[in-house]
Amino acid sequence: MKERNFQDYYKILKRDLTKYVELKAELYGLNFIESFSLLVTKFVTLSITFLFGIVFTMFLLLTLAYFLGDLLGATYLGFLIVSGIFLILAVIFIALRHKFLTNPIINAMISVMFKYDKDDEDNASKEK
């Protein structure tokens, strides 16, 4: 049996470190792909849901406008009232957009992109 010298250990260490770096790079790439795919899936799902919500709201507002128009005896008054309600809601939404739109989107993106870090922390705490 041949004794190993320093160069043998150096070659083994170099091979193992190279393999480790390659595997770690592949892991980060796969984590990125998973996070990006999850983000795109959530975006598409929310977009389709939002589209259905807009169509539903549009028909609901048209129905309300015609109903109010019949009650008041003039269709244009029903549409005027519904437009006023919609304008008030739009102003409220613009005033509160950071609380109800910007911050939730930012938080969702952060949680999706850094999901694997939380999992790693959970696994590390379980090992202790």
Residue 116 makes CB contacts below 8 A (sequence gap 6+) with 31, 34, 35
52-83 pLDDT, tens digit each: 999 999 999 999 999 999 999 999 999 999 99
What pLDDT, on the 0 to 100 scale, is given for residue 47?
93
Count up the domains in the chain and report the number.
1
| Rounded mean pLDDT, 19-37 | 91
Print the domain residue range for 42: 6-119
Residue 127 lies in a domain: no
Q: What is the pLDDT of residue 109?
A: 76
Q: Residue 111: is its pLDDT beyond 80?
A: no
SS (H, E, C) the chain: CCCCCHHHHHHHHHHHHHHHHHHHHHHHHHHHHHHHHHHHHHHHHHHHHHHHHHHHHHHHHHHHHHHHHHHHCCHHHHHHHHHHHHHHHHHHHHHCHHHHHHHHHHHHHHHHHCHHHHHHHHHHHHHC
Is there a domain that residue 128 lies in? Answer: no
In a domain, 85, yes or no: yes
Residue 118 pLDDT greater than 60, yes or no: no
Query: Quick one: pLDDT at residue 105?
Result: 79
Count Cβ atoms below 10 Å from residue 111 Cβ, excluding itself.
13
User: Would 96 be classed as within a structural domain?
Assistant: yes
Establish if 19 belongs to a structural domain: yes
